[in-house]
Amino acid sequence: MNALPLLLIGLAMFAGGYVLYSRFLGNRVYKLDASFRTPAHELQDGVDYVPTNKFVLWGHHFTSVAGAAPIVGPAVAVIWGWLPAFLWVTLGTIFFAGMHDLGALWASARNKGRSIGTLSGRYIGGRGANLFLVVIFLLLLMVVAAFAVVIKNLLISTPSAVIPAWGAVAVALLIGQAVYRYKMSLGLVTVVGVAALYGLILLGDAVPVELPDPILGMSPATFWIVALFVYAGIASLLPVWVLLQPRDYINGVQLFVGLGILFVSVLLSAPTIVAPAFNDAVPAGTPDLVPLLFVTVACGAISGFHGMVSSGTSSKQLDKETDARFVGYFGAVGEGLLALGAIIAATAGYRTLADWEAVYSAFGEGGVAAFVAGGGAILNSGLGLPVSLSSTVLATMAILFAATTMDTGVRLLRFVVQEAGEVAKVRIGNVAGTLITLAVGAGLTFSQGAGGEGGLRIWPLFGTSNQLLASLTLSIVAVMLIRKRRNPAPALIPLAIVFVMAFWAAVVQLGDFYDARDWLLLSIDLVIIVAALWVAFEAVVAMRRASQEPPEALDADVTEKVGPAR
What value, to the nearest 5°, has the Cα angle with vertex 100 and ends 394 and 63? 25
Identity at 469, one-letter amino acid code: L
Judged on CB neighbours under 10 Å (0-12, 13-18, 19+), 136 is: buried
pLDDT at residue 566, rounded to an integer: 37
Task: Give me the helices (H) in 124-219, please.
Answer: 126-157, 162-176, 186-206
User: What 3-state class would DSSP assign to 384?
Assistant: coil
Identity at 66, one-letter amino acid code: A
- Residue 9: pLDDT over 90: yes
Q: In the predicted model, what is the mean pLDDT of the chain?
A: 89
- Residue 358: pLDDT over 50: yes
- Residue 553: pLDDT over 80: no
What value, to the nearest 5°, has the Cα angle with vertex 459 and ends 143 and 308? 35
pLDDT at residue 554, rounded to an integer: 67
- Residue 139: pLDDT over 50: yes
- Residue 212: pLDDT over 70: yes
Identity at 167, one-letter amino acid code: G
What value, to the nearest 5°, has the Cα angle with vertex 31 and ends 412 and 43? 40
User: What 3-state class would DSSP assign to 218?
Assistant: strand
How many CB atoms within 10 Å of residue 436? 17
Q: Give the span between the Cα atoms of 81 and 354, in whole angstroms.
A: 14
Q: Give the span between the Cα atoms of 13 and 19, in whole angstroms.
A: 10
Confidence of residue 42 (pLDDT cuts 50, 70, 90): very high
Of 49-63, 389-403, 472-486, the least confident: 389-403
Confidence of residue 339 (pLDDT cuts 50, 70, 90): very high
Which residues does residue 2 pair with via DSSP β-bridges, in sequence order? 272
Which residues does residue 215 pair with via DSSP β-bridges, in sequence order? 218
User: What 3-state class would DSSP assign to 557?
Assistant: coil
State CA 183 to chain mean position distance: 30
Q: Tell me the domains of the chain and their CATH numbers.
A: 3-559 (1.20.1740.10)
**At what angle are helices 387-423 and 126-157 packed, to 10 degrees?**
150
pLDDT at residue 268, rounded to an integer: 93
User: What 3-state class would DSSP assign to 564?
Assistant: coil
Task: Give me the helices (H) in 484-518, please.
Answer: 489-515
Phi, psi dihedral angles at 505 (to 5 degrees) = -65, -40
Cis preceding linkage at 220, omega within 30: no
- Residue 66: pLDDT over 80: no
Q: Give the span between the Cα atoms of 177 and 184, in whole angstroms.
A: 9
Cis preceding linkage at 39, omega within 30: no
Phi, psi dihedral angles at 215 (to 5 degrees) = -130, 120
- Residue 257: pLDDT over 80: yes
- Residue 126: pLDDT over 80: no
Average pLDDT over residues 57-63: 85
The number of C-alpha atoms within 13 Å of 20 and in the hemisphere containing its C-beta is: 8
Q: Considering only residues 531 and 31, tell me which one the structure prediction assigns the higher pLDDT.
A: 31
- Residue 112: pLDDT over 70: yes
- Residue 450: pLDDT over 50: yes
CB 116 within 8 A of CB 307: yes
Judged on CB neighbours under 10 Å (0-12, 13-18, 19+), 561 is: exposed
**Non-local CB neighbours of 31 within 8 Å, separated by 6+ positions:** 486
First to last CA, the chain: 56
Identity at 166, one-letter amino acid code: W
Q: Give the span between the Cα atoms of 152 and 175, in whole angstroms.
A: 26
pLDDT at residue 563, rounded to an integer: 42
pLDDT at residue 559, rounded to an integer: 57
Q: Give the span between the Cα atoms of 360 and 366, in whole angstroms.
A: 6
Q: How far are the Cα atoms of 104, 173, 231, 475 from residue 551, in angstroms, in the given order?
A: 21, 48, 48, 18
Confidence of residue 369 (pLDDT cuts 50, 70, 90): confident
Phi, psi dihedral angles at 272 (to 5 degrees) = -85, 135
CB 43 within 8 A of CB 49: yes
pTM: 0.87
